[in-house]
């Protein structure tokens, strides 16, 4: 393998990895406040991409993306308010089935709105042939846009959870929701907020990745599976772990293309998921004792 090709693969891996990490963090935010894995997480990413593509006909790029993110946030809030909020002590099985149902509804709605066609946003800088040369490898500027947006998003999330009072309240719910209620925190609103937040980051990631990966009504399931793989790999609930695991999975996937036919690429990441679930369900970095305390 030449150095150029190697760097090409590394960048492709990091780009996809960053997206997977964002999806995984979306899983984590909701999981931490509710103990639910939201199977519709991938659909938020799809919506971000598809809505901004539709809006670009009327608005300029930043406005289209911003509006798409806002619309997806509203959808996230609605999902929580309509389907989750009023359930009292639902079983895990019930929650799984409900969020799967939600993901199907969103996907089918997308199919009827946008059809089966593959779409994408225009490149933010230049076009598909513009490239930056790094050590002889040609990297699209869009890759840097994706990386920059993902990095900023993660940093902002970190700041939000660490320093703002709302962020701290959300963390309190995650640690112990009963105690949080006793401290006067409205946990129900925190749950809604967690859906809104993860819808927002999913949608933004979906919009910035669209020029490279393209958007279609059915990309959600694949992204959700990979995001979940990353969330598990990094230890469910840990955002730092998710970033490392995301980059790891992205790079493994990118290099697997050079060994295996493209058709099996998705099978690879799922095989990794199964392997991790079977060998270390508490993740690469998580501790077994802590995992034992989680309600599974």
Partner 1 sequence: MMKKYLPFLPLIAFVVCVHLLTSWTGTLYYLTQMTMSAYYALLIIGLCVVMGYAGQISLGHAGFFAIGGYLSAALTTRNLLPFEDTAVLRMLDALGVLMKGQDIYGEVIVVITPWAACITAVCVAALLAFFIGVPALKLKGHYLAMATLGFGIIIYRVVLASEYFGEADGISEVPPFVLAGSLAVSGDFSERISNYYIAWVLVIAGVVLLRNLIDSRVGRALRAIHGAEDAAGSMGVDTARYKLHVFVLSAVFAAIAGVFMTHYNGSIGPSEAGVMKSVRYVAIVAVGGMAHLWGALIMAIILNFLSLRGVFGSYDDAVFGLILIVIMLFAPNGLLRINLRSKLQAFFSRAKRAEEV
State the residues that interact with partner 1 by CB under 8 A. 37, 39, 83, 85-88, 90-94, 96-98, 100-105, 107-109, 112, 186, 188, 221, 225, 228, 232, 261, 263-264, 266-267, 270-271, 273-274, 277-279, 281, 295-296
Q: Give min distance, CB of 136 to partner 1, in A.
A: 33
In angstroms, rounded to a whole number, what is the distance separating the alpha carbons of residues 100 and 116?
21
- Cβ 190 to partner 1, closest distance in Å? 12
Which has the closest alpha carbon to 5: 261, 231, 258? Answer: 258
Nearer to partner 1 by Cβ, of 142 and 192: the residue is: 192
Length of the chain: 296
CB of 272 to partner 1, least distance (A): 9
Q: How far is the CB of 90 from partner 1 (least distance, A)?
A: 8
Q: Yes or no: say if 59 and 67 are a contact pair by the CB < 8 Å rule.
A: yes
Q: Is the CB of 141 or the CB of 222 nearer to partner 1?
A: 222
DSSP string, 156-224: HHHHHHHHSHHHHHHHHHHH-HHHHHHTT--HHHHHHHHHHHHHHHHHHHHHHHHHHH-B-TT-HHHHH
| Cβ-based nearer residue to partner 1, 130 or 258 | 258
Residue with Cβ nearer partner 1 (138 or 282): 282
Of the two residues 115 and 126, which places its CB atom closer to partner 1 in the complex?
A: 115
269-280: burial string, b at 16+ Cβ within 10 Å, e else: beebbeebeeeb
CA–CA gap between residue 40 and residue 105 (Å, rounded) = 10
CB of 161 to partner 1, least distance (A): 23
């Amino acid at each position: 393998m030449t150095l150029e090709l190697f760097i090409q693969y590394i960048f492709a891996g990091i780009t996809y990895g960053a997206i997977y990490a964002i999806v995984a963090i979306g899983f984590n935010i909701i999981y931490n406040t509710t103990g639910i894995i939201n199977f519709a997480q991938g659909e938020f990413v799809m919506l971000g991409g598809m809505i901004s593509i539709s809006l670009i006909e009327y608005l300029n790029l930043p406005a289209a993306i911003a509006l798409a993110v806002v619309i997806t946030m509203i959808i996230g809030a609605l999902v929580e308010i309509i389907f989750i909020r009023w359930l009292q002590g639902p079983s895990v099985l019930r929650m799984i089935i409900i969020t799967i149902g939600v993901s199907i509804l969103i996907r089918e709605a997308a199919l009827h709105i946008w059809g089966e066609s593959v779409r994408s946003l225009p490149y933010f800088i230049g076009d598909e042939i513009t490239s930056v040369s790094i050590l002889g490898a040609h990297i699209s500027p869009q890759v840097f846009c994706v990386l920059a947006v993902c990095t900023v998003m993660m940093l902002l999330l970190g700041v939000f959870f660490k320093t703002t009072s709302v962020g701290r309240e959300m963390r309190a719910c995650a640690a112990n929701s009963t105690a949080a209620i006793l401290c006067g925190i409205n946990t129900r609103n925190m749950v809604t907020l967690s859906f809104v937040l993860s819808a927002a980051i999913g949608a933004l990631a979906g919009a910035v990745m669209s020029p490279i990966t393209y958007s279609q009504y059915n990309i959600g399931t694949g992204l959700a599976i990979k995001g979940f793989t990353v969330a598990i790999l990094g230890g469910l609930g840990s955002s730092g772990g998710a970033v490392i695991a995301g980059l790891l999975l992205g790079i493994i996937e990118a290099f697997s293309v050079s060994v295996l036919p493209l058709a099996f690429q998705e099978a690879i990441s799922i095989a990794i998921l199964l392997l991790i679930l079977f060998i270390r369900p508490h993740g690469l970095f998580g501790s077994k004792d802590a995992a034992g305390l989680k309600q599974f």
